């Protein structure tokens, strides 16, 4: 068995490029064949870098890569983002990726649920983990396509999950390795709370401002006007903020003050 395993041991990288968080960085996707070649080089470097602490022969073992994606759907998305001009640019990238290293494949799974990249990845993962020649497999895909029940039936010491979006507890509690390939995949967007809007697109902002009476809560309303609307007439030297915002403050004694920029009223 040891002699058989010593014959052409390999590591495998499986990537679902359609999954959230695993669309490659723009610098690879937008440079056609050159971007694909750079992606292949970077992926090989980072894979061997990850394997070296675990295997003495990491630099000599074969590395197989299978990237699954719906190229047409990906191209449509990137065109809407003004990142590529057409599907041909993305096909050139995938061709450059495949041609750079003979054991690297960028596979277009087409459109349709039956050929989904998640299903392809699961089937390949199940097949390759039973091979005696496989030393390790690195998997980058959506947690929804990789249930814990599937992983539990595999030799988990052979598996590493790539984390882009935070992984669910069902996966992180398994005795499985987790890593990040930050040079390949962009970091997840930071959550931003959208600014609340009122009717007609007015922006609402709630803030706290202290004063000598002990503090006041301010509700500032900034109306949003379209370019077709005429500018508001205002007195000389008046600022834009004064004519386009409404501030409502609630004082410590529950008095309400309304300030429209040109007039201030107190409501008992």
**pLDDT tens readout for residues 76-110:** 999 999 999 999 999 999 999 999 999 999 999 98
pLDDT digit string (tens) for 8-25?
A: 899 999 999 999 899 999
Residues 6+ positions from 136 with CB-CB distance below 8 Å:
11, 12, 51, 54, 55, 158, 159, 160
Instruction: Say which residue the tokens 């396509």 belong to.
Output: 145
pLDDT digit string (tens) for 21-62?
A: 999 999 999 999 999 999 999 999 999 999 999 999 999 999
Please state at what angle helix 71-80 crosses helix 87-100, rounded to 10 degrees: 120
159, two tokens: 């598996």
18 CB neighbour count, 10 Å cutoff: 23
**Among 244, 251, 249, residue whose Cα is nearest residue 261:** 244
97 CB neighbour count, 10 Å cutoff: 25
First CA to last CA distance, the chain: 89
Q: What is the mean pLDDT of the chain?
A: 80
CATH fold of 2-179 reads Rossmann fold (3.40.50)
Residues of the chain with CATH 3.40.50: 2-179
SS3 211: coil
């Amino acid at each position: 068995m040891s002699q058989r395993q010593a014959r052409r041991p390999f590591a495998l990288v499986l990537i679902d490029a359609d999954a959230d968080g695993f669309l490659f960085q723009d610098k690879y996707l937008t440079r056609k064949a050159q971007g694909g070649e750079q992606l292949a080089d970077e992926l090989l470097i980072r894979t061997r870098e990850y394997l070296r602490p675990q295997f003495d022969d990491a630099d000599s073992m074969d590395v197989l890569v299978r990237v699954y994606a719906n190229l047409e759907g990906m191209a449509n998305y990137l065109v809407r983002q003004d990142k590529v001009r057409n599907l041909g640019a993305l096909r050139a990238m995938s061709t450059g990726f495949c041609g750079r290293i003979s054991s690297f494949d960028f596979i277009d799974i087409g459109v349709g649920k039956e050929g989904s990249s998640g299903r392809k990845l699961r089937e390949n993962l199940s097949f390759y983990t039973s091979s005696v020649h496989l030393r390790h497999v690195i998997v980058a895909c959506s947690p929804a396509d990789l249930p814990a029940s599937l992983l539990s039936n595999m030799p988990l010491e052979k598996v590493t999950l790539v984390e882009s979006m935070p992984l669910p507890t069902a996966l992180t509690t398994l005795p499985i390795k987790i890593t990040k390939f930050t040079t390949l995949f962009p970091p997840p967007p930071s959550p931003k709370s959208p600014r609340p809007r009122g009717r007609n697109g007015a922006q609402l902002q709630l803030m706290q401002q202290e004063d000598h009476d002990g503090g006041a809560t301010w509700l500032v309303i900034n109306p949003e006007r379209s370019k077709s609307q005429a500018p508001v007439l205002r007195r000389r030297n008046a600022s834009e903020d004064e004519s386009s915002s409404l501030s409502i403050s609630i004082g410590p004694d529950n008095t309400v003050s309304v300030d429209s920029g040109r007039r201030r009223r107190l409501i008992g």
